[in-house]
Amino acid sequence: MSTTATLTSQQRVNRAMNHQDHDRVPRFDTYWPETIERWQDEGLSKNYGHDAALQLLASDLSHLAHTRPLPFTGRHDILAEDEKTQTYIDEWGATVRYWKGKSGTPEHLDFECQSREIWFEKYKPACQTTMQQMDVQQVKAKYQLSKEQNKWTFISGLESFEMLRKLLGDVGSLMALVEDPEWIVDISNTYTDTMIRGLEQYMSLGLEPDGLWIYGDMAYNHATMCSPAMYKELIWPDHKRIADWAHQHDMKFIFHTDGDVNGVLDLYQEAGFDCLQPLEAKANMDIRKIGPTHGKAMTWMGNIDAMVLCTNDKQQVEAEVRSKLEAGMANHGYIYHSDHSVPPGVSLETYQFVIELLDRFGNYQ
């Protein structure tokens, strides 16, 4: 069945989410700021930045607003600075060192919230009373424009496992999962309550988004950071609660996590996740393997290896894109995305070639 002439972006994504026949693979992507700067030097419009890249891609999705409840909104206490880096205490109460003038993962130096006493005395009250920061007019204008363009709209948020890592650090959070699971559950519950309250504030503006996209990295390149059983007991109930909230508001639920999450795909399905993104190829996520076993369990977004794109070798890029398209399209539940944000090693010419491949091989017949 071909529906090429009749589908809007909103219809296209909804049909992909439901594994129904549709005209072509829906598209969305994210980009490093340095990537946009490079592409502007190579001819991309300088007027719209990130949006110019999405227009080039013919993106079907439109992001409206994000909620990330912070215990100390606006905190930026500089402790040290040199020509290349700046060290400061951030909005989570963590001491971090960032590069100046370029993107990258910060160096985490210290975390104040290292005990349940500190959590209950200082951080929990701060999380419970933090206010959603939003530009109401900007959100409403973006929503109106997206609806006029028939885009598939979504709001987003940060989930509680990622919040744990920002608040306690990787070592502190993983040790607490084992040594004080009741504390971890309280943190997760509290943060999820606050995050949902922020989402409700956006809904109070009269928005009717098509989806909720929640971000959080709960795995590394070999497995999840805790066992599937521990995840199921301590964090999964709040993940399910967020998915249920989305469904109660007639939204599809997209979950983002980097890393190898093959071991918890069944738990994601049980929680009601509608879509998983970005399927990090560098971490053993491969839609060519997942398709035959979990093909219709969820919609799959991503898996185009950014390191292959960085080769800027058209033969390698074509092999990567075509094989992943074929696997994803087999179950009519695939959305194009890189397996992470597109890095600055990818030339504009290469990305235009990816779009050409999507135009040629991403159509359903």
Q: Which residues of 290-308 are buried (b: 16+ CB within 10 A; e: fewer)?
A: bbeebbebbbbbbbbbbeb
Indicate the DSSP class of residue 281.
Answer: G
Write the DSSP string, 183-229: HHHHHHHHHHHHHHHHHHHHHTTT---SEEEEE---B-SSSBSS-HH
The pLDDT, as a whole number, for residue 68 is 87
The pLDDT, as a whole number, for residue 133 is 83
Helix or strand or coil: residue 304?
strand
The pLDDT, as a whole number, for residue 126 is 95
The pLDDT, as a whole number, for residue 104 is 85
Question: Percent of the chain scored above 70 by pLDDT?
Answer: 99
160 CB-near residues (< 8 Å, 6+ apart): 187, 188, 191, 192, 195, 216, 235, 238
The pLDDT, as a whole number, for residue 165 is 94
The pLDDT, as a whole number, for residue 180 is 97
Helix or strand or coil: residue 64?
strand
Examine the pLDDT at 6 and tell me if it is beyond 90: no
The pLDDT, as a whole number, for residue 49 is 87
Q: 229 vs 233, 269, 324, CA distance in Å?
A: 6, 15, 31
Average pLDDT over residues 334-344: 97
Give the tens place of pLDDT for each residue, 146-156: 999 999 999 99
Give the tens place of pLDDT for each residue, 162-201: 999 999 999 999 999 999 999 999 999 999 999 999 999 9
User: Given pLDDT bands bounded at 50, 70 and 90, which one contains residue 50?
Assistant: very high
Examine the pLDDT at 4 and tell me if it is beyond 60: no
Q: Which fold has domain 9-69+132-361?
A: TIM Barrel (3.20.20)
**Cα–Cα distance between 186 and 48 in angstroms, integer?**
42
The pLDDT, as a whole number, for residue 5 is 46
Examine the pLDDT at 81 and tell me if it is beyond 60: yes
The pLDDT, as a whole number, for residue 3 is 40
Write the DSSP string, 93-148: SEEEEEESSS--PPEEEEES--SHHHIIIIIHHHHHH------HHHHHHHHHHHHH
The pLDDT, as a whole number, for residue 2 is 37
Query: Who has greater pLDDT, 345 or 131?
Result: 345
Average pLDDT over residues 347-351: 98
Give this prediction's pTM.
0.96
Which residues does residue 98 pair with via DSSP β-bridges, in sequence order?
86
Write the DSSP string, 148-176: HTT-EEEEEEE-HHHHHHHHHHHHHHHHH
Q: Which amino acid is at 302?
A: G
User: Given pLDDT bands bounded at 50, 70 and 90, which one contains residue 131?
Assistant: confident
User: Given pLDDT bands bounded at 50, 70 and 90, which one contains residue 47?
Assistant: confident
Average pLDDT over residues 305-315: 98
Average pLDDT over residues 80-98: 96
